[in-house]
């Protein structure tokens, strides 16, 4: 196999296996930064050896075994021997670390290790930006350059966030464990939030020249599927997976051949991915069976399901969508939820009814710089024939968005308000 093909294969293996390797190492060395460095050492060894020796039959196991040796060497150097005696249990509480015991410890409960790593990467002690960057780095296996490119941020900025995040976790002595009781739910909420933030940035990019960044959607869904495998009895985890997969099913219909946005009502539903819809509906059913029907992501997934089940835009059950948004607003009060409810109300009961809801949101400080408020208001005004007002709203929305494709769409909608 040519060297370039081997390197591409190694990159693919790394993205699939790096999280497992880092998780196993973190349990042993109790420092996510050190664990990542040791895992990177294993990757470098693969880059050096595989072009000559060929890719092994089980590349993931090869990386794990090589990483184990790095961890053993690290501990033998005495950096963490005192701390590890207590952490690895009575059989390791002797002065000299036994290699077979350490190797066995590396193999135990890899699923638990992955879950621990998920909770560490999304720990609330970190800022939201740091949690997102660290999650993409440790769990998705993305390089600093890839993360920076996805978020249109400089590489040094992302690198600094990751370094600070790892330092914060070390200095805060965040334990490598799955939290219990009420703390578990609080931390799981953080994990789900981070995954959905990653998905949303891919689904509707906040800035740049592209309307979507599918790679981020794919990573968020992949991590979500891993998560439900680790916490199969958590309804909201299934609810989030359902929401992401049903929304992602529309991806091919959300842009035209030129990469320009296509609004939901104008999309060719034949392009919607029926496999993703089926997976999403199954995940939604699982979330509801687990008692999650009154939880945020499950309700949002139920809203997305209303669109997915409708053969045409006109056949959508807008009254149910409006009711679901009202329910969502009761458990998670938000002006953005109300704005979405206004759209559903306008489709179910007419633009005047929707505009009545929007008018109550005009002065909400939380929506002061939210471009979708004037965008929605412009749409409702246009449907009511108030074209001059609609044009002004679309122009205002265009001035607020940082996404080039969305700006062009809003300006085109403004130009359509003639007469």
Q: Where are the domains of the chain?
A: 1-108
How many CA within 13 A on the CB side of residue 39?
29
The pLDDT confidence band at residue 286, using thresholds 50, 70 and 90, is: very high
pLDDT for res 251: 94
* Residues paired with 208 in a beta bridge: 403
Place of tokens 């060395």: 29
Residues in the chain: 419
pLDDT for res 178: 87
How many CA within 13 A on the CB side of residue 147?
26
Place of tokens 């968020």: 220
More confident residue, 113 or 346: 346
Helical residues (DSSP H) of 350-371, grouped into ranges: 351-359
pLDDT digits (tens, 9 = 90+) for 192-236: 999 999 999 889 878 777 778 888 899 999 999 999 999 999 999
User: Residue 113: is its pLDDT beyond 60?
Assistant: yes
Average pLDDT in the chain: 87
More confident residue, 78 or 256: 256
Q: Are 362 and 373 contacting, i.e. CB atoms less than 8 angstroms apart? A: yes
Give dist(CA 293, CA 412) in Å, integer. Answer: 39
pLDDT for res 151: 83
- For 52, 158, 171, 216, the CA distances from 132, given in Å and listed in that order, are 36, 10, 19, 11
pLDDT digits (tens, 9 = 90+) for 355-413: 999 999 988 998 988 999 999 999 999 999 999 999 999 999 999 998 999 999 999 99
Closest CA to 231 of 106, 108, 114: 114
pLDDT for res 106: 44
More confident residue, 419 or 218: 218
> Is 177 strand, coil or helix?
coil
pTM of the model: 0.82
Q: What is the mean pLDDT of residues 253-279?
A: 94
Q: What is the mean pLDDT of residues 70-90?
A: 62
Diameter of the chain measured on Cα atoms: 86
Q: Are 195 and 242 contacting, i.e. CB atoms less than 8 angstroms apart? A: no
pLDDT for res 61: 85
pLDDT for res 392: 97
pLDDT digits (tens, 9 = 90+) for 327-348: 999 999 999 999 999 999 999 9
Which pair of structure tokens corresponds to residue 7? 């390197």
The pLDDT confidence band at residue 103, using thresholds 50, 70 and 90, is: very low
pLDDT for res 54: 83
More confident residue, 169 or 77: 169
402-403 and 207-208 as β-strands: parallel, antiparallel, unpaired?
Answer: parallel
pLDDT for res 83: 55
């Amino acid at each position: 196999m040519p060297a370039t093909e081997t390197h591409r294969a190694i990159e693919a293996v790394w993205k699939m296996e790096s999280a497992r390797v880092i998780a196993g190492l973190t349990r042993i060395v109790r420092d996510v930064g050190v664990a990542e460095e040791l895992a990177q050492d294993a990757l470098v060894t693969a880059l050096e050896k595989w072009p000559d020796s060929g890719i092994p039959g089980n590349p993931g196991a090869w990386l794990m075994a090589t990483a184990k040796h790095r961890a053993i060497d690290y501990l033998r150097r005495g950096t963490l021997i005192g701390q590890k005696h207590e952490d690895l249990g009575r059989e390791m509480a002797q002065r000299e670390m036994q290699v077979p015991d350490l190797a066995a410890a590396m193999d135990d409960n890899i699923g638990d290790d992955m879950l621990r790593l998920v909770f560490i990467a999304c720990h609330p002690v970190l800022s939201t930006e740091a949690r997102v960057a660290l999650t993409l780095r440790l769990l998705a296996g993305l390089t600093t350059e890839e993360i920076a490119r996805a978020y249109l941020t400089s590489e040094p900025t992302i690198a600094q966030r990751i370094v600070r995040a790892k330092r914060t976790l070390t200095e805060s002595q965040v334990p490598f464990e799955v939290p219990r009781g009420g703390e578990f739910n609080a931390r799981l909420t953080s994990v789900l939030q981070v995954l959905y933030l990653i998905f949303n940035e891919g689904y509707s990019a906040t800035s740049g020249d592209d309307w979507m960044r599918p790679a981020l959607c794919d990573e968020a869904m992949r991590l979500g599927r891993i998560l439900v495998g680790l916490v199969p009895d958590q309804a909201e985890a299934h609810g989030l997976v359902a929401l992401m997969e049903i929304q992602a099913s529309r991806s091919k219909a959300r842009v035209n051949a030129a990469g320009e946005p296509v609004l939901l009502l104008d999309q060719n539903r034949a392009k919607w991915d029926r496999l993703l819809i089926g997976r999403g509906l199954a995940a939604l059913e699982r979330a509801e069976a687990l008692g999650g029907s009154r939880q945020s992501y499950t309700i949002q997934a139920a809203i997305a399901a209303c669109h997915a089940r409708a053969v045409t835009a006109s056949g959508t059950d807008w009254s149910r969508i409006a009711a679901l948004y009202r329910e969502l607003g009761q458990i998670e009060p938000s002006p953005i939820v109300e704005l979405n409810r206004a759209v559903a109300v306008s489709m179910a009961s007419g633009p005047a009814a929707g505009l009545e809801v929007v008018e109550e949101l005009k002065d909400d400080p939380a929506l002061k710089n939210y471009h979708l408020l004037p965008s929605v208001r412009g749409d409702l005004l246009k449907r009511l024939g108030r074209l001059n007002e609609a044009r002004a709203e679309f122009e205002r929305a265009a001035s607020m968005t940082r996404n080039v494709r969305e700006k062009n769409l809003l300006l085109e909608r403004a130009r359509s308000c003639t007469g």
